């Protein structure tokens, strides 16, 4: 399997071209089709993948472990308490050592800088499984799902409603790169990072698409093809939960809000969902929701990422 992606780190989607993103998505489509007919190719036969998880996880951990297994690799799950990092070993030393043992390192971290430091000191590819800045694998799976349901990505309109978090950051970059028009609606003070918005806007100009950041959810969802939301308080923000709920209540994804999108618009949520907060049961379980197809596609896109970068 010849690809120019082999050996690359995946830290942020801004580092990948439209063609590279579409290559990953298309390979994810292929692997999904293969799995549906019981076909499995061990692109990573005999290799091992280290999985460093500073933060708890359900979908990301399971999808990466299953992906590695189905590709023929062995996944080593390492939480922060199991590692010498907990006792003061530097990230650079950890990266130097692990990269001599494994074909790649998947890392879910609190601080994005930890990923940057891992990549700077590792001879094996580093894959971002979530940081405070970005969540690129999630968005690759999301784009795969959107294309699966709506066809070619260029020109589609996506609205994200809620906290301008790491998912919103990566959606901005991913959507802009593939030529989708994206509108982010967040309360004042909770918008995506300004530098990310600026970068996404520059990318959008090159791909003939648009970026909008607004404090009005009605403006964002007007006649869009896709409506996306996420939890209002991410992991590590539990102490802010009550205050965030008060501020973000007008940004809840309800049937009334969905009524401003296109009649055939689809609903995405990266999960876990706090039903009754950022999304209602009516929308989450409604006919426009593709949330669980979206969750399944995490497995297939994770397989594609691992195979193309490590294979």
Catalytic residue ranges: 108, 135, 138, 230, 270, 298
Is 250 marked as a binding-site residue? no
The response to whether 115 counts as a known ligand-binding position is no
Dihedral angle computed from the Cα positions of residues 228, 291, 42 and 18, in that order, rounded to the nearest 10 degrees: -20
Give the whole-angstrom CA distance, residue 115 versus residue 131: 8
12 marked as binding residue: no
Closest CA to 311 of 100, 106, 47, 22: 47
Does 298 count as an annotated binding residue?
yes
- Alpha-carbon Rg for the chain, nearest whole angstrom, is 19
- E-strand stretches of the chain: 48-53, 74-79, 104-108, 126-128, 157-161, 181-185, 211-214, 226-229, 266-269
**Secondary structure element (H or E) that encloses residue 290, with its range:** none
Is 166 annotated in a binding site? The answer is yes
275 is in an annotated binding site: no
Q: Is 230 annotated as a binding-site member?
A: yes
Peptide bond into 272 cis (omega under 30): yes
Please indicate if the annotation marks 87 as binding a ligand.
no
For residue 178, with 0-12 CB atoms within 10 Å meaning exposed, 13-18 middle and 19 or more buried, which class applies? buried
Q: Is 34 annotated as a binding residue?
A: no
Q: Known binder of ligand: residue 98?
A: no
Distance of CA 93 to the CA centre of its chain: 28
Binding residues, by number, are: 57-60, 84, 108, 135-138, 166, 230, 234-235, 270-271, 298
Binding residues for L-ornithine, by number, are: 166, 230, 234-235
Binding residues for carbamoyl phosphate, by number, are: 57-60, 84, 108, 135-138, 270-271, 298
């Amino acid at each position: 399997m010849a690809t120019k992606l082999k050996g690359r780190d995946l830290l942020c989607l801004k580092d990948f071209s439209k063609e590279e993103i579409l290559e990953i998505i298309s390979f994810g489509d292929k692997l999904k089709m293969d799995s549906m007919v019981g076909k499995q190719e061990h692109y990573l036969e005999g290799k091992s993948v280290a999985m460093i998880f500073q933060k708890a996880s359900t979908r990301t951990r399971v999808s990466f472990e299953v992906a590695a297994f189905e590709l023929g690799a062995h996944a080593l799950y390492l939480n922060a308490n199991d590692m010498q990092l907990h006792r003061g070993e530097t990230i650079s030393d950890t990266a130097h050592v692990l990269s001599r043992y494994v074909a790649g390192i998947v890392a879910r971290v609190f601080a994005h800088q930890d990923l940057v430091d891992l990549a700077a000191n590792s001879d094996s590819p580093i894959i971002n499984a979530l940081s405070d800045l970005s969540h690129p694998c999630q968005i690759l799976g999301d784009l795969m799902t959107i294309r699966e349901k709506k066809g070619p990505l260029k020109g589609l309109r996506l609205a994200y409603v809620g906290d301008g978090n790491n998912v919103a950051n990566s959606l901005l970059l991913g959507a802009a790169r593939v030529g989708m028009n994206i509108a982010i609606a967040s309360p004042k003070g909770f918008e995506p990072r300004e530098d990310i918005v600026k970068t996404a806007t520059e990318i959008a100009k090159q791909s003939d698409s648009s970026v909008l950041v607004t404090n009005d959810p009605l403006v964002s969802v007007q006649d869009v093809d896709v409506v996306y939301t996420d939890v209002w308080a991410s992991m590590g923000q539990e102490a802010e939960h009550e205050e965030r709920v008060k501020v973000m209540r007008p940004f809840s994804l309800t049937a009334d809000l969905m009524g401003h999108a296109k009649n055939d618009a689809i609903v995405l949520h990266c999960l876990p969902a706090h039903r009754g907060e950022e999304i209602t049961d009516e929308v989450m379980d409604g006919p426009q929701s593709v949330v669980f197809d979206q969750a399944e596609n995490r497995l297939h896109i994770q397989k594609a990422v691992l195979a193309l970068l490590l294979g």
